[in-house]
Amino acid sequence: MPAGRTVSIRVRRFDPAAGGRRLWQAYDVDAGPMMSVLDALFWVLENEDPTLAFRYSCRAGMCGSCAMVINGREGLACARRLERLRAPVTVEPLRSLPVIKDLLVDLRPFFEKYRAVDPFYIGQAASVFDPASEPAVLPRGDAAREIVDRQIDCIACGACYSACPIVSIVPEFLGPAALNRAYTVAADARDAAGVERLHRVTADGGVFACHSVGNCVTVCPVGVDPLLSIQLLRKGAVHR
> Interface with another protein by CB under 8 A: which residues?
69, 71-73, 88, 90, 92, 95, 143, 147, 163, 165, 169-170, 186-187, 191, 194-195, 198-199, 202-206, 208-209, 211-215, 217-219, 225, 227-228, 231-232, 234-240
- Exposure b/e, 22-49, CB count within 10 A at least 16 = b: eeeeebebebeeebbbbbbbbbbeeeee
Residue 55, φ and ψ in degrees, nearest 5:
-110, 145
Q: Toward another protein, which CB reaches closer, 213 or 222?
A: 213
Name the minimum Å distance from CB 78 to another protein.
Answer: 20
Q: Toward another protein, which CB reaches closer, 53 or 147?
A: 147
Spatial distance between the Cα atoms of 31 and 232, rounded to a whole number of angstroms? 44
Q: Looking at the chain, which runs of residues are DSSP E strands?
A: 5-14, 22-31, 67-70, 73-76, 89-92, 99-101, 104-105
Q: Toward another protein, which CB reaches closer, 57 or 212?
A: 212
Name the minimum Å distance from CB 109 to another protein.
Answer: 16
Name the minimum Å distance from CB 57 to another protein.
Answer: 25
Q: Toward another protein, which CB reaches closer, 98 or 165?
A: 165
